[in-house]
Structure 1
């Protein structure tokens, strides 16, 4: 008698094994999908968070530049974080609401508390050191460090494995070191007066000086005050010829009013470096009247003045200007090169440094003098060639620094 064996049972065993293998493969595929989707999502929002924290740090530094205390600068910074939350693509950032309070932990540390996260603020006079043990003075340069830790994000698949997503970011900002070269300068050269104050080429904060015009070129008797920008030399009234503005007096007026330069001649770059040279523009040069006064009133062809009341002639000191909401980047401030004053006529002179002045009155056609109040501590400019050494005065910019504790920013 023949015996027949059924293969059904063996096929069932194989079918069960396929189900197990398929399940394992599916879990592996889900794992890779979780990594691909959630990690890419996390990287994207990490970048968004970093951009937001960078903006918050810069907002704090700009507020400090405009006269705010470190504590009050946090308000502007938090407002900036709130604005970033409403920007396109930033819906997962939680900075838009649920703000509870700001707690001062120490002289240099604050915590802004929200329902779901916290924003930490640290202040220092050194961008490489932050902490309670680091000496801090409000009167010196202030650097801001902003930190957001463990900001939670929505999980798509990674929660299947019991994992959660969060990102962190930090940023440090503040003044750069002094610039050794810039392009946006006034066509005016003043002399160093180092015997008065070597840290600022001899110029004293809050003091008013006759910078150019009839106070120079051996005509000091025309001035109502002995405080002048010095005398470049015979035939000069402290005016300079800038690249892209030609040789005429109208070029001086265009440059002093902030009009963009024209085409550069061969050898011109429009960038002026300390220890480099710049050419003097002899003569009284009546051209500055229109360009200079465009900083106080609207003149066609020139950048607009500051909004009222900052352009009012009743604001006659830099302190008045700041209290009215003015900025060191405003139209009534300018950067002036300090030059080696030994030129007779149309000659190149060496640039020794740069200083910042507040323009406290219009140009008077009869007086023919440009006046300015020296801004102690310098002023920010949009672009420049950075140096390696900190300086007490002159132009600089507000910038981000590498965070010494996380390597970010």
Structure 2
């Protein structure tokens, strides 16, 4: 039998070197591909997060500006400008150098990011602000990033994916139970609860004039000895501090608030007037003179120079058959004009907007049934209303009026105008806002359709 030599099966050294080169090449390509995934993937995720944060901030800024300018002709443009301004400010922040370069490369902020509006968080969104639009969507569709080893992917596919990220954010109002309440009470109409199809909020409509503090308990519905004041703490100083805005009291719908008997003219005036005077006055402290006065011969019981004062459904305030009266619409337009280059005469935004308890005054104690003097009364909370205050309380009794009003005890009224929504504090709720009252701006999940949430939100 012929023996085969084992040496016949050994590969030549040159062939071994060729196989090693192939293996090394494959290994190097694999290592580069892994580096591309690690380095470029990490870079992509970091910039995706940075872009999303910037877009979130832009949407919140736009929605906040929209809430302040809501109803004005400049609301849409002001909101969009605020969103783009915030996006640019975030791009210029440390660590966002690529984003800072991408904005001018796109030509403008509006080319890089779109700002759209809707009346519902579910859309439809459009660049034009609808009449009842309250929600803002900011979208960046295409943000290209620099690649490090991204080109290696071309070896594995004919059309490798571009290294790009996108982001979208929607922001708008959410109802909140406010803690920065004014120690005042208005009574709600139980026959007119708020509904999705009603313009009433417990009997109050947009622009409606209302007495927020009476000076004769017989003028109100709270009961004997009460002047629509609430007990936020012991002593007159607590009442004054609360009207100034220095005390927080949190209540929820269904809880009870306790009234504070007595007219308390001095503490009420000293606390309330800080909203018009001093270092903490409202950004726009303007009001008409002579001051408005109370006269129960009219409905609403408000006059100017002995002429009846009314308001319409658009929120305009006027003397019947005469001139206009400075009201919420005038203040809102002036607030919308406040910009970093156009400083307003005041100091603090929305000091003239009070969050007030709307209570169920249909209780035996409030009506005085079966008791000689109700004194303190526990009133169930129906909700929280936003009221714009028209004027300060005069320092003396001469020529005064309400809501201000005269400084005398019989004329120290507070007059307000009901507003559908205002900025609140506390915590936002999980659902978009459809009710009147204090609200807080928050981010929402983006929806492609009402039942289909977006993947990039």
State the TM bucket, normalised to the shorter chain: 0.7 to 0.9
Match status 1:31 vs 2:20: no
How far is 1:139 from its partner?
2.6
Kindly indicate whether the alpha-carbon contact (under 8 Å) linking 2:209 and 2:417 is maintained by their aligned counterparts in 1.
yes
Residue equivalent to 2:123: 129
Query: Structure 2: which 5+ residue stretches go unaligned?
Result: 1-6, 155-159, 193-197, 290-325, 339-347, 367-373, 396-406, 449-453
Residue equivalent to 2:240: 253
Mapped to 1, the partners of 2:137 and 2:130 lie a distance apart of 15
Query: Structure 1: which 5+ residue stretches go unaligned?
Result: 103-111, 221-229, 262-269
Residue equivalent to 2:383: 353
Spell out the pairing of 1:4-23 with structure 2 (5 A cutoff).
10-23=12-25
Mark the CA change 1:129 to 1:204 in structure 2 (over 3 Å): closer, same or farther: closer
Spell out the pairing of 1:3-402 with structure 2 (5 A cutoff).
10-67=12-69, 68-93=74-99, 94=101, 96-98=103-105, 100=107, 112-113=110-111, 118-130=112-124, 138-162=130-154, 163=160, 164-176=162-174, 178-179=175-176, 181-193=177-189, 199-215=200-216, 217-218=217-218, 220=219, 230-242=220-232, 246-261=233-248, 270-285=249-264, 286-298=266-278, 304-307=280-283, 310-313=284-287, 316-325=326-335, 330-341=350-361, 342=363, 343=366, 344-365=374-395, 366-368=407-409, 369-384=412-427, 386=429, 390-402=433-445
Kindly indicate whether the alpha-carbon contact (under 8 Å) linking 2:428 and 2:440 is maintained by their aligned counterparts in 1.
no
- Provide the TM-score with structure 1 as the length reference: 0.78
Kindly indicate whether the alpha-carbon contact (under 8 Å) linking 2:117 and 2:130 is maintained by their aligned counterparts in 1.
no
Moved more, 8-17 or 283-292: 8-17
Q: Residues 228-282 of structure 1: CA distance to partner in whole angstroms, max 9, x if unpaired?
A: xx4211111111123xxx3212111111111145xxxxxxxx4201111111111
How far is 1:52 from its partner?
1.5
Q: Residue 392 of structure 2: SS of its match in structure 1? A: coil
Residue equivalent to 1:224: none
Q: Residue 147 of structure 1: SS of its match in structure 2? A: strand
How far is 1:12 from its partner?
4.1
Residue equivalent to 1:266: none
Q: Residue 104 of structure 2: SS of its match in structure 1? A: coil
Mark the CA change 1:324 to 1:129 in structure 2 (over 3 Å): closer, same or farther: closer
Q: Residue 443 of structure 2: SS of its match in structure 1? A: strand
Q: Residue 397 of structure 1: SS of its match in structure 2? A: strand
What CA RMSD, in Å, does the superposition of the two structures yield over aligned residues? 3.1
Q: Residue 271 of structure 1: SS of its match in structure 2? A: coil
- Provide the TM-score with structure 2 as the length reference: 0.70
Q: Residue 228 of structure 2: SS of its match in structure 1? A: coil
Q: Residues 254-312 of structure 1: CA distance to partner in whole angstroms, max 9, x if unpaired?
A: 11111145xxxxxxxx420111111111111231222212222236xxxx3334xx134
Mapped to 2, the partners of 1:195 and 1:84 lie a distance apart of 49
Mapped to 2, the partners of 1:90 and 1:147 lie a distance apart of 18
Kindly indicate whether the alpha-carbon contact (under 8 Å) linking 1:125 and 1:140 is maintained by their aligned counterparts in 2.
yes
How far is 1:370 from its partner?
4.3
Q: Residues 358-398 of structure 1: CA distance to partner in whole angstroms, max 9, x if unpaired?
A: 12211235245342432432212122463758544211122
Count of residues in correspondence between the two structures: 359
Q: Residue 358 of structure 1: SS of its match in structure 2? A: strand
How far is 1:37 from its partner?
0.9
How far is 1:137 from its partner?
7.6
Mapped to 2, the partners of 1:190 and 1:249 lie a distance apart of 21
Mapped to 2, the partners of 1:372 and 1:173 lie a distance apart of 33
Mark the CA change 1:385 to 1:97 in structure 2 (over 3 Å): closer, same or farther: closer
Mapped to 1, the partners of 2:432 and 2:30 lie a distance apart of 56
Mark the CA change 1:60 to 1:289 in structure 2 (over 3 Å): closer, same or farther: same
Moved more, 286-295 or 248-257: 286-295
